[in-house]
Amino acid sequence: MGFNIGIEAQNLGANVTIITGPSNEETPYGINVIRIKTAAEMYKETIDIYKEFDIIIGTAAVADFRPDKIYKTKIEKNNIEELNIKLVKNLDIIEHIGKNKTKNQIVIGFCAQKDEILIKKAKEKLETKNLDYIIANDLKYFGSNVNKIYIINKDKVEKFPEMSKKETAIEILKILYQ
């Protein structure tokens, strides 16, 4: 979704930077793309530059946890029957931005959940992360060329029909012109 939104925002005249994890997406002409590999790298890159932008749209489904210890080489199995991996919580990028945004910044987050709990979870994230909007989408559309979203702010929940990712990007950007 991030590349679709970035391309449509650029078409509207925006100066766009996309920070992305591993992806097969080609770099769109005229868009600054910062490629990272880990959630920690995404956090650092985003926190370093977010105050330069009027609008921040956090589309990435960043992992909530990461391994506590990362090995640079293969772990040998020499008589090891069991290996336990400790996970630690990643810092929440969009929450940090929402809670530290400047007066005129608009921060939009994403929430992907199963349909039964989607709206409830999205409203919780909207409030706890101090977002201006949250885009709620059902997990069943992940990896698909279509999407079905709800755009939520503190005053309303707007439901949209199933549509292409390009159409979804356009609808999301329309909220900035209301």
Contact 127, 100 (CB under 8 A): no
Q: What is the pLDDT at residue 144?
A: 85
The domain tally of the chain equals 1
Distance CA 95, CA 70 (A): 25
Please tell me the pTM assigned to this model: 0.91
The per-residue pLDDT for 79 is 81
**Can you give the pLDDT at residue 140?**
86
Position 168 scores a pLDDT of 96
**Tens digits of pLDDT across the chain (178 residues):** 999 999 999 999 999 999 999 988 888 899 999 999 999 999 999 999 999 999 999 999 899 999 999 888 988 888 888 989 999 999 999 999 999 999 999 999 999 988 889 999 999 999 999 999 999 998 888 888 899 999 999 999 999 999 999 999 999 999 988 7
Range of the domain at 55: 2-177
Are 63 and 39 in contact, with CB atoms under 8 Å apart?
A: yes
Which CATH number goes with the domain that contains 98?
3.40.50.10300
